[in-house]
Every structure is written in C-alpha cells, then in structure tokens.
Amino acid sequence: MEGTASARGGVEVLMRLSTELWLPVPRPRVFEFFAKAENLQSLTPAWLQFKILSPLPIDMHEGTVIDYRIRVRGLPMRWRSLIATWDPLNEFVDTQLRGPYRRWVHTHRFTDVNGGTLVRDSVEFEVPLGRLVSWFVARDLRKVFTFRHEELLRIFQQPATGVPRITFTR
C-alpha cells in the first residue's frame, strides 16, 4: 500500500484489487446477468444494507448514472456511480462519482475460457487517512468479493470451488 500526501491535508492510499472466477456458463448468459443493475443487490452482503435508489429497470449503457445507499461500518452513505465504459459481452467500467472512496474505478471483464466464462474484476481505489484505514477497507472488500463469488456460484448453480482468488496491490 502506497501513501501519498494529499492536497486535502491527509495521506491517501491507492490500491488495486483483482479477482477471477471461472463459471462453466456461456459468456452471453453471464454478461446478461451483470447487465441488469438490480442484480447487484444479490451480489452484495446484507451487512452493507445496499439499496438501489435509481428507478428500476435501469437501461445500462455508457453514461448511465446509478444512485445507491449503503452502510459502511454502520454509517449510512450515498454512492453514485457512472458507467464510464460499456462494451457488451466483453467489459464495462463503473466509476464512483460520489461515495466513501476518494477514487473507485471498477472494471468488469468477461472472457471465453474452456467452454465457460472467466469473470475478472479489477478495482482501483483510493482511501483517505493512510495505512490503518486501507487495512480495514481491504479486509472489508475481501469479505464483499468473497460473498460475491459465493453468490455467483450459487446463482449459476455451481459447486463451491474453494477460496476465491482476490489480490491487493499498490
């Protein structure tokens, strides 16, 4: 984790999270699931009390803005994200416009591999207040993405495949 002095007076830590999950399901079917914003609720642990505030259904495309409400460590927060890139069947990128992070850029990639789909998440995020906060954030994000993998396996009716591959780098 790398710290840099901030013009805002604190230390910010830029981190990257990467995950991979292979599903023995065709890519169009997997992408279709992710293209429905309301499905994000099923991929989010209950302890975050996640709720989409934007009217449903949401027409996903480049430029779509989505508003959510979450609780981070018990504190209610609003989160607004922008679909910055939309390349159906291949990838999309959502960026935080407002929320708990200084920076959040989440790239979702979908690739045909061995008759199924490799789902890759790459998140570049920046947290305020240095290493201690980044440690808590990394721990929480590991729990969130572990839950996400378990739910994807359940939704696509696949047996658990062990511990998901989740890595953090700076």
Q: Where are the domains of the chain?
A: 2-169
β-pair partners for 103: 126
Q: DSSP letters of 48-70?
A: G--EE-SPSSP--STT-EEEEEE
Homologous superfamily in CATH for domain 2-169: START domain (3.30.530.20)
Q: Give residues with Cβ within 8 angstroms of 59, minimum separation 6.
A: none
- Token representation of residue 52: 């989409």
Would the pLDDT of 80 be above 70?
Answer: yes
Closest CA to 2 of 140, 134, 166: 134
Closest CA to 122 of 13, 14, 20: 20
- Token representation of residue 84: 């910055």
Q: DSSP letters of 101-160?
A: SSEEEEEEEEEEETTEEEEEEEEEEEESS-HHHHHHHHHHHHHHHHHHHHHHHHHTT---
Would the pLDDT of 66 be above 90?
Answer: yes
For the stretch 105-148, pLDDT in tens is 999 999 999 999 999 999 999 887 666 567 788 889 999 999 99
CA-only gyration radius of the chain, Å: 16
pLDDT for 35: 97
C-alpha 141/C-alpha 127 separation (Å) is: 12
More confident site: 19 or 1: 19
